[in-house]
Amino acid sequence: MRIAVLSDVHANLAALSAVVAATADCDARWCLGDVVGYGPQPNECAALVRESCEIVLAGNHDLAAAGRADTLVFSRDAGRAMRWTREVLEPGVEAWLASLEPAAVVGRVGLYHGSPRDPVWEYILDPEAARAALQATTHDLVLVGHTHTALVARLDHDGRLTGRRGVEGLEIDLMGPRTLVNPGSVGQPRDGDARAAYVVLELDGDGVPLTLRFARAEYAIERTQQAIVTAGLPEHLADRLSFGM
Ligand code: ZN
């Protein structure tokens, strides 16, 4: 069974559409949260995620949009975009976002927006956070989003942690050490590659993780940038998409 794992769509419809098209041959899609926030098409992205993903987690932006999380910790631009998002959000979309949870378990795979210790807010950006996340669970594979940075970290039986960036085409054999993976962000990558990020996960018939491959999809960045400007959102949120940061 092949599963496309994606995260942090952030209301970027062109990027999401490219990833959905690129993963048309997958058996299912899982979304690790932050469907909305920052970007200009929250309602459209919510509709497409709802119809194309079997599992959808809540991210901190989704919970904020649904009135379930505080926006005080948001950066200035994120806060401005969230106020705009709450104004334009359709009631049905708000209710759907409010119904989502930030964590899920599927067989031997744990899914979290942030981390196992704090599914909504913790950023796994360094080796110690990755180690703590793996030690907090017994899953063979831990999937997280939230940082917008594709990475893989592995913890072997001797307690040795190895990690690397999830560059396009990198394939991981999951039969060895326990593994933590962030697929990167669909709609606002921050790892220097402006293309939409995702991973393709292969499970066997019993749900045991076999392999995982990091992938990128090109999309019409200028379409989203134009929509950001038209919506009156901060222009910095358009500019950063060109650089993947
Ligand atoms: Zn995010």
Tens digits of per-residue pLDDT, 97-143?
999 999 999 999 999 999 999 999 999 999 999 999 999 999 999 99
Q: Is the pLDDT of residue 72 over 80?
A: no
Q: Tokens 């631009």 belong to which residue?
A: 77
**Tell me, what DSSP letter sits at residue 57?**
P
Percent of the chain with pLDDT over 90: 96
Q: What residues have CB less than 8 Å from 178, skipping those under 6 apart? A: 134, 139, 140, 141, 142, 154, 155
pLDDT interval class at 190 (50, 70, 90): very high
Percent of the chain with pLDDT over 70: 100
Q: What is the pLDDT of residue 44?
A: 98
The Cα–Cα gap between 15 and 193 comes to 13
Give the Å distance between the CA of 43 and the centre of ligand 1.
16
Segments of 103-227 assigned E as strands = 103-106, 109-112, 141-144, 151-155, 161-165, 171-173, 178-182, 196-203, 209-217
- Alpha carbon distance, N-terminus to C-terminus of the chain: 33
CB proximity list for 161: less than 8 A, separation 6 or greater: 127, 130, 131, 134, 153, 154, 155
Side-chain-side CA neighbours of residue 196 (13 Å): 28
Is residue 69 pLDDT above 90, yes or no?
Answer: no
Q: Say what the pTM is.
A: 0.97
Ligand 1 mean position, distance from CA 206 (Å) = 31
Ligand 1 centroid–CA 146 distance in Å is 5
Q: Are 37 and 61 in contact (CB under 8 A)?
A: yes
How far, CA to CA in Å, does 15 sit from each of 34, 91, 132, 242?
14, 24, 32, 12
Rg of the chain over all Cα atoms, to the nearest angstrom: 17
Q: What is the mean pLDDT of residues 81-93?
A: 97
Q: For residue range 6-58, what is the model confidence (pLDDT) as tens digits?
A: 999 999 999 999 999 999 999 999 999 999 999 999 999 999 999 999 999 99
Rounded CA-CA distance 25/14 in Å is 19
179 pLDDT tier (thresholds 50, 70, 90): very high
Distance 32 CA to ligand 1 centre (A): 9
C-beta separation of 219 from 18 below 8 A:
yes
How many angstroms does the Cα of residue 70 sit away from the middle of ligand 1? 15
157 CA to centre of ligand 1 in angstroms: 32
The phi, psi pair for 215, rounded to 5°, reads: -140, 160
Q: How confident is the model at residue 160 (pLDDT cuts 50, 70, 90)?
A: very high
pLDDT at 25: 97
| Average of per-residue pLDDT values in the chain | 96
The residues pairing with 31 across neighbouring beta strands, listed in sequence order, are: 6, 56
Quote the ligand 1 centre to 158 CA distance (angstroms).
Answer: 33
| DSSP structural state of residue 114 | S
Over range 185-214, report the average pLDDT: 97
Q: Give the pLDDT band (50/70/90) at residue 70.
A: confident
Sign of the CA dihedral 203, 208, 211, 216? Answer: positive
Q: Does the pLDDT of residue 205 top 80, yes or no?
A: yes
Q: Would you state the pLDDT for residue 112?
A: 98
The pLDDT of residue 186 is 98
Q: How sure is the predictor about 73, in pLDDT bands with cuts at 50, 70 and 90?
A: confident
Q: What is the enclosing helix (H) or strand (E) of 97? A: helix 91-98
Distance 201 CA to ligand 1 centre (A): 21
- Asked whether the beta carbons of 108 and 139 are under 8 A apart, the reply is yes
